[in-house]
Each structure stands twice: as structure tokens, then as C-alpha cells.
Chain A
């Protein structure tokens, strides 16, 4: 296997584009689309589709709720220490809420961190920053494209999980379910509340996504990128057990995961959801900005 040396003349110049042709000895026309962020975003999604861990998470989102329903059907015990846990055998609507109660504590932050905590540091791990930064894409475009890809994955996984959760619940039964205020919620309204409850946890999931990205960019290490959100999730859990003042609870990124409780009370209230929205936005903004500040001037490679 040798280089085909006789076939190495320069490629003919492409046809002149709108920005002008590249003359001999001068730079060739930039052939790529100017919307570099969109280009990077699409390529990152394509790369994610090729990763086993992404496929595993997608598969878990797809079949996980049905497996849980099947598991509950073969045992008489109920997860009574979780909201709606005692109703899993009487109403299918309780099942997605039990999954949300547990998932909000662990699965959702970890699930998004597995991808977001790796999407930047994987380039460090493989040494491919030098490969992609020597193409005609700026750091800004690469950062934005990767960031959006991580957000897209998190949102898509959430939407998939919402759909399969609801379907699994409907499969288990459409009887009315008891709300957290003791009221009986009919099937139609329960369906709406399940959807709204799940949608309400997307902002903190995106907050954890930004946190994982920051950890990934700052550390250049996937273990840290994924591990920091996981450790912080644990720390937040511990913090909720101690007597924090109300404002202290509000600033924790884990708190918005329980904001949906207000939707199921009688009468319903949305205050915690709005606070959670603000908390998630602050975490998201700070982590995103910090990640960009670190990334924009970092040295790729080293001295030699």
C-alpha cells in the first residue's frame, strides 16, 4: 500500500463563488456554508448517533418505562416512599410520576451528563481538536455547535422519555389517580398534568447539561466532565436533608426537579416552578459563559 504519487497534482479550483475566487498563490474560496454553527451542530449529532452510550441511553428511554411497568405487574409491593408510589397498582398515571420522582433525583442529571460531560473533552481524549480546528470553522462556531448538540440530545432524550412514560402508564391503566392534595384527578386532566410535570424538569436538565459542559471544557477530562454533575447531584441531595434556609434550597439545581408537585396539589400552584425556572436559567447562563471563556483562548497542543 503506497501513496499514489502520480495522482497528486492539486485539485482544480472550484468555480468562483459569491465571495470571489482564490487566485494562484492566494487563499481558495471558502467553500463551506457561512452558517458554521449549524454545520457543526449537524455533524456533532451525526457523531453522537455513532456512539454506543448514546444508543444505550436512547434504548433505555425507549423501553425503560415498559420494563418498569412489567416489573411492577409481577410484584405486589409498591414504592410507597415516593410520591404516587402507593397508586402504581391502581392507576397507570402514577407510574410516569414515580419514574419522574426517582429520575429527577438521579437519572436525568446523570443521563445528560454522560453526553454533555464528554462532548468537549472527548476531543481532548482523542486529540482531535487539532484536526477540527484546522478546518475553516472558528472556535465560536465549534463551541456553539457542540453546545447546541448537547442541548439537543438532552431535550430529545427527555421528549422520548415523556412519550414512552406516558404510553407505558396508559398501557398499565387509565383509571383516575389521586393527586397530592388528595383530590381524584380524571384521566384527561391526569394526562395533561403528567405531560406538564415532565416538561417542567427540562429547564434543570438543561442546567445540568451546561454544568457538565463547563466541567468538560475546564477539565479536558470526560471522567470529571461526567463526574462533577453526578457528585453535585449527590451534594444537593445531602443539602436538602439539612436545614437550609428557603433561599438556600432555591439556589440548588436539584430543587426545580420537584417543582411539579405544585401542579398536583389542590389548589395547584406554580411558584416553585417559576423559582426553579429562574434557578435553572442562572445555572445555565453562568456555566455556559464560564465554559466559553475557558474555551475561547485555550491553547491546543503544547510546546515542542
Chain B
């Protein structure tokens, strides 16, 4: 009898090489029941390879992967029972309609999956396009069909690789709501993304991958505690005076921007004090907006992805990789 830890996903020391390229380097990845777990990382970090390993599409060169406490060898053909989702863009037979594609997949699943097809299409907002050939579907419609295909399996673990690709803002909002509802009903969701903001809005826990290694793993609130100050864009009537005032204000750092205005690193409460002081000094605030959230700042630090964002104030050290504590409480 295999000893299980109660984790839905438990990957230990997973490594995968493609020729000279190290896609995964001794990755530990655990996901607790009933949470929405974000898998973050820039392009090429190893997210898709890890998700592929969970599905058995990629066989690890080292390490073990357990789903619901069982390795693939222990579980046999039923290893993916209760597991659904997609890796990269969901792909279907273009010469078949959306409904016919789902019928093929339901046929593979067996049981009563076929009876769920129309309901799944309606949930995915594809009821009107059910008879249309998939080759005429947009990227967003294929993503929706991928979600519908996943729901046919009554998943207890839903694995979604960049599910918002091609989906419009309203669709993203709806997907966020849908995933929260699924998690509330006990479904564990793994969501990969390179968008920290998106993950921040929906996930309970997160694993950040960078160059095939785990750069951070833990609860999102733990990540927030490690995060640096947010970054703000500030425009004033007198930027020189505003910079001088920042030097005199504790917890506030301001730098000039190449295109005018200031970049300010400060926590919310410190920023409030700073803005009030500027007003008292006769410096008008003409614009103030959040540029980089704390978690985004941390993400950029962890992954060394400067993008077009400031790297953050000097002196902040990268937080250590932490073992994710089991998440056992109810998800609200």
C-alpha cells in the first residue's frame, strides 16, 4: 500500500531534458485539494512541460509524479480518471463540428459523458456554434471548446494551460468566476499563466518556475508578505521638488522617468503620506497610477524578467524558495 500525503498532485524531483535543453530541473510541485493553484513563469520556464508531465504526455527523465496519491505505474490505464484539461491551445479535428468533436471525446471517456455534451457546450457559450466545423472557430472559441471537453470528464482535478488566451475580457471575467465556483465545489484547479495579475485575482497558491526550476512555491498571501513595494507612476507640477520631498520621506523612493514624471516605490500608506506632504508643499499631483503590483514586482525579481517595468528599488533580496504548506481549509 502506497503512503499518500493527501495532495492532489505531488511531483518530486522531476527533471526532463530535450537534448541539451533542460526543461525541468529537479522540480517539486504539490497541489492541495480544492484550491486554485497558479503555475507561473515566463515563456520557456517549463510550465507546459510540467503540465505535460502531469498528463503523461511527457515522461520525466527523473523523479516521480503522483496524481491523487498514485503514480502512473500504480494506477494503470485509469491514472487520468478524474483529471481533465488541456496543454497549450486545445486542438480538435477541424473537419468535424464542435459537437461532433465532443462526441468523439465523450466516446473515449465512456460512461455518461455523451449525455453531458449539450450542457457543456451551453456552459462554454458555444451552443449556437455547436454544428459549425471547428476549422471555422476562433482561438477563443477553441479555448471554450477545450473547457467544454474538460467538463465532460467530471473533473476532480482541472489542469488549464493559459486558458485565457484568445478570450475577450468578459470571457476572462466569466472564466474567473467559473473556476472559483468549481473550486468551491471541491474541484482542484491548476492554472498556468505568465500573467501575475491574472493569477493574483484567482489563485490561492502559486508556484513560480524560472528556467526549469522552482523559484517560489507557496500560498499567495505568503508571497504577498515577501513582495516588494508596489511601483507607481507620478506626474506633478514640480518633479524636482517631488524628488527632494521623497528623499525626506521614510519608505518612499522616487526616480525620474525618461519620458517625464516619476517612478515611485512605496507602500500604500507611505504613498498617502507622501502625496499629502506634496500638497502641503504646494506641489500639485497631476497623475498617479499603479504601475506594478507588489506580486508583479516579486515575479519580475524571481524570474529576472525586466520587461518594460522598473526592476524595483535596490536592496530587496529575492525571497527563498519555500515549501508550500498544505492548504486544507475551505476555500471561500
Contact = CB atoms under 8 A, between A and B. Distances in A.
A30 B153 CA distance: 9
Interface stretch (B120-128, B225-233, B257-265): B120-128
Contact of B77 (A31, A129, A137, A303): A137
B248 to A, nearest CB: 48
A2 interface: yes
Nearest to B54: A134
Main DSSP-derived SS at the B contact region = mixed
A32 B110 contact: yes
B104 A27 contact: no
Contact of A39 (B18, B88, B107, B185): B107
Contacts of B294: none
A26 B57 contact: no
Contacts of A22: 81-82, 156
Contacts of B48: 301, 303-304
Contacts of A130: 52, 55, 57, 86-88, 91
B91 A128 contact: yes
B254 interface: no
A95 B52 CA distance: 55
B130 interface: no
B109 interface: yes
Contacts of B87: 130, 134, 301
B55 to A, nearest CB: 5
Contact of B171 (A2, A40, A43, A46): A2
Contacts of B122: 4, 7
Given A301-B57, A303-B16, A31 B91 contact: no
A32 B91 contact: no
Most interface-central of A43, A134, A297 (chain B CB within 10 A):
A134
Interface string A46-75: 110011000000000000000000000000
A134 B160 CA distance: 12
Interface of A: 1-11, 13-14, 19, 22, 24-33, 36, 39-40, 42-43, 46-47, 50-51, 126-138, 140-141, 297, 299-304
10 contacts: A2-B174, A8-B179, A24-B156, A25-B6, A25-B33, A27-B81, A28-B81, A130-B52, A138-B77, A302-B49
